[in-house]
Amino acid sequence: MSSLDDINERRAKEAARIRLALNKQRGIARSNIKGGEGVVAFVKEELCIGCDQCDIVCDDDAIEMYKVPLRNPLMKVESNQNAKIIRDYCTGCRLCVLACPTDAINMIDRC
């Protein structure tokens, strides 16, 4: 039978292996995000949680937070906020995409 120390050691090694694999996948996904003058950020409103992270990292003032009604009537909060991209100011730098914890922001072609 395995001792508690052996189990904890194997658990720590497995957690490190999983963390390494997930970080590698995130790096590949982030490198595939297109950016530049030909693209603009787009927010999927249904995924936006109003955390303000995108607005914090945007150096171009291309993100505006606006109030929306809260979807969950059980919570006692009067309003929530969502992000909105101001297309004219967006430079396609992708910082907001990388900062969004819910993957609510994507880069789309600027038409």
Q: What is the pLDDT of residues 52-74, one digit of tens each?
A: 999 999 999 999 999 987 766 67
% of the chain residues with pLDDT over 70: 90
What is residue 18's predicted lDDT score, i.e. its pLDDT? Answer: 85
What is residue 24's predicted lDDT score, i.e. its pLDDT? Answer: 80
* 8 A C-beta contact, residue 109 and residue 39: yes
What is residue 73's predicted lDDT score, i.e. its pLDDT? Answer: 65
Average pLDDT over residues 85-111: 91
Q: Which residues contact 84 (CB under 8 A, 6 or more apart)?
A: 43, 63, 64, 65, 66
